[in-house]
Amino acid sequence: MLKIILAAVGLLICVYIGIAVDNYYKSRLNILRDYLGFVRYSERETEFLKTDMPALMGNFECKSEFKDMLARAISGVIEGREAALTSDRLKKSDLDAVNAFMKGLSECDYHSKGALFRYSLGIAEEMEKTAEKEKKQKGELIKKLMFLLGVGLVILAI
Amino acid sequence: MLKLLGEQIYDAVVNAVPLNAVTEIRLRRGEKVFVKNASGGRFAEYRCSSEDVAAVLKRATMSSLYAYQEELKNGYVHYSKGVRIGVAGEGVVESGKIITYKNFTSLTVRIPHEIVGAADRILNILNPFENLLVISPPYGGKTTLLRDIARILSENRDTLILDERGEFFAGGARFGPRADFIVNTPKRLAAEGAIRAMNPEIIIMDELFPSVDMPIVKEMVSGGIKIAASIHSDSVENALKRCPEIKELFSYAVVLTHIPRAGSIKSVTRL
């Protein structure tokens, strides 16, 4: 009986770990999708309405953690500091790319922003593709493997 | 002002001149900050670096230089409450026109002050109102006088203020209940729509540039709209040399001087 209970607990832990890993990749993908949306939104807004950075960051609507990342950085932008976005969900290289875009936006003028957007859109699309691939290849795979490991534990215990 | 200048420059400025009296702050790369009030100016004990100049500009534009392109082309950016920041640096020229500035070396922060009653001395020519031109050298107080004229006239006449550089709202300046504003838009672009759509009795315009703005003024005057405007010059004679049409378009000229202090009326002339 004890063995069955332990096996069930083991199964639950494995499933939980699998779901947590999958969620990590899922939320990373969502952030990068919203970042790509933000770059596109910024391109439109800065072209037609010349919207300033605090308004861009405050008005952008999305469901992922990216909204909070922007909200945390607005006061720094108003005070003339760098818009340093932080997140424990993104890889360092992704976060660096996001912050490089924000820095570029805070320094470019009307004529140089076109080049910034072209470059940043390419990078953001690449980052989104990689994150999507990793979610499938790592997140979903690990979730399945952890479930199978849990089932294996139950079988072994029985 | 603290938000705009940053702590070090702000401290140096207020140590040089009390903040409520400051009318202009000049930041030059590698030089001491120069602070002006209505009766003169003095150096503050702080030497500006190129980083200081860049940081002030960044705060003024809220890190959004791209959004200030039209203003930069004209050599300034506007900040809140009517504060205007003139820029100097390396111009970027394309097809014979300045498209922007880069490598900024100097900033001139102009802080407008609302002086209620500045136009009291010329009240007798405001009612009945006839076209009025304020003639003043730079720093003579023409915007301050025009702002007060706008305040008085908008009490009982539909008064449209074409505020090209966002200077009329100095520190939340008050106007009459019949004032309308078109802000941060070049006069020549705003004029046609404004006349047709807003149907004003009086239009207030700052800093006429004769070659660009006189056709608009002519159009307004021939359309029966009254005008109060200002122009850079130091006397009626020199203003007429610069722009002979003034004589036909305006009824009165008020000449200002900065001696003994900005806003002093030198003469009022019937044209």
**Chain segment A5-35, per-residue pLDDT in tens:** 888 888 899 999 999 998 899 999 999 999 9
Say which residue, A117 or B101, is predicted with more confidence.
Answer: A117
Structure tokens belonging to residue A43? 């391109």
**Nearest-angstrom CA–CA distance, B102 and A112:** 12
**Nearest-angstrom CA–CA distance, B114 and B120:** 14
Please tell me which of B22-36, B63-77, B166-180 the model is most confident about, judged by mean pLDDT: B22-36
Q: B60-76 as b/e, with b when 16 or more CB fall inside 10 Å?
A: bbbbbbbbbbebbbeeb
Check: CATH 3.30.450 for B2-110?
A: yes
Statement: residue B172 has pLDDT above 80: no
Residue B206: closest CA among B238, B172, B183? B183
Query: Which segments of chain A does DSSP mark as H helices, in order?
Result: 2-48, 53-59, 66-78, 92-107, 113-134, 141-157
| Cβ neighbours around A137 below 10 Å, total | 11
How many CB pairs below 8 A link A and B?
61
3-state secondary structure of B118: coil
In CATH, the number for domain B120-270 is 3.40.50.300
Say which residue, B47 or B172, is predicted with more confidence.
Answer: B47
Statement: residue A80 has pLDDT above 90: no
Statement: residue B73 has pLDDT above 90: no
User: Which residues of chain A are within 8 Å of residue B65 when distances are taken between CB atoms?
Assistant: 106-110
User: Which residues of chain B are within 8 Å of residue A78 when distances are taken between CB atoms?
Assistant: 3, 59, 62-63
Closest approach of chain B CAs to the CA of A38, in angstroms?
16
Say which residue, B205 or A79, is predicted with more confidence.
Answer: B205
Residue A158: closest CA among A32, A6, A17, A21? A6
What is the phi/psi pair of residue B212, to 5°?
-100, -40
Question: At A60, which amino acid appears?
Answer: F
Q: Which domain holds residue A112?
A: 2-157
Q: How many residues are there in chain B?
A: 271
Task: Give yes or no for a contact between B151 and B175, defined as CB atoms under 8 angstroms apart.
Answer: yes
| pLDDT mean over A49-57 | 87
Query: pLDDT tens digits for B110-164?
Result: 888 888 888 888 888 888 899 999 999 887 888 889 999 999 999 999 999 998 8
What are the contacts of B154-160 at 24+ separation with CB within 8 A? B154/B178, B154/B179, B157/B129, B157/B201, B157/B202, B158/B198, B158/B199, B158/B200, B158/B201, B158/B202, B159/B200, B159/B201, B159/B202, B159/B203, B159/B204, B160/B194, B160/B198, B160/B200, B160/B202, B160/B203, B160/B204
Task: Give yes or no for a contact between B206 and B182, defined as CB atoms under 8 angstroms apart.
Answer: no
pLDDT band at A119 (very low <50, low <70, confident <90, very high): very high
| Kind of pairing between the strands at B252-257 and B132-136 | parallel
Give the predicted TM-score (pTM) of the model.
Answer: 0.73
Give residue ranges of B with CB < 8 Å to any A CB. 3, 6, 55-56, 58-59, 61-67, 69, 72, 92, 99-100, 102
- Rounded CA Rg of chain B: 19
Q: What is the pLDDT of residue A124?
A: 94
pLDDT band at A155 (very low <50, low <70, confident <90, very high): confident
Nearest CA in chain B to A48: B67
Structure tokens belonging to residue B104? 């900024």
Q: What is the pLDDT of residue B79?
A: 86
Statement: residue B168 has pLDDT above 90: no
Structure tokens belonging to residue B151? 């305040």
Statement: residue B261 has pLDDT above 80: no
Supply the ipTM of this predicted assembly. Answer: 0.74
User: Which residues of chain B are within 8 Å of residue A109 when distances are taken between CB atoms?
Assistant: 65-66, 69, 72, 100, 102
DSSP per position, A47-73: HHT---HHHHHHH---SSTHHHHHHHH
What is the phi/psi pair of residue B132, to 5°?
-130, 135
User: Which residues of chain A are within 8 Å of residue B69 when distances are taken between CB atoms?
Assistant: 50, 109-111
**Nearest-angstrom CA–CA distance, B241 and B197:** 34
| pLDDT mean over A35-53 | 90
Q: Which of B4-18, B49-63, B86-100, B208-222 has the lowest mean pLDDT?
A: B86-100
Q: What is the pLDDT of residue B90?
A: 83
**Nearest-angstrom CA–CA distance, B13 and B170:** 19
Nearest CA in chain B to A45: B67
Cis (ω within 30 of 0) for the bond into B128? yes
pLDDT band at B171 (very low <50, low <70, confident <90, very high): low
Tell me what the pLDDT averaged over chain B comes to. Answer: 88
Give the rounded percent of residues in chain A with a pLDDT score beyond 70: 100
Statement: residue A37 has pLDDT above 70: yes
3-state secondary structure of B203: strand
Tell me what the pLDDT averaged over chain A comes to. Answer: 89
Number of domains in chain A: 1
Domain boundaries, chain B: 2-110, 120-270
3-state secondary structure of B155: coil
**Nearest-angstrom CA–CA distance, B198 and B187:** 14
Q: What is the pLDDT of residue B20?
A: 80
Task: Give yes or no for a contact between B45 and B15, defined as CB atoms under 8 angstroms apart.
Answer: yes
Query: pLDDT tens digits for A84-108?
Result: 898 888 889 999 999 999 999 988 8
Q: What is the pLDDT of residue B271?
A: 85
Q: How far is CA B197 from CA A138, B101, B129, B191, B200, in A?
A: 62, 35, 22, 10, 9
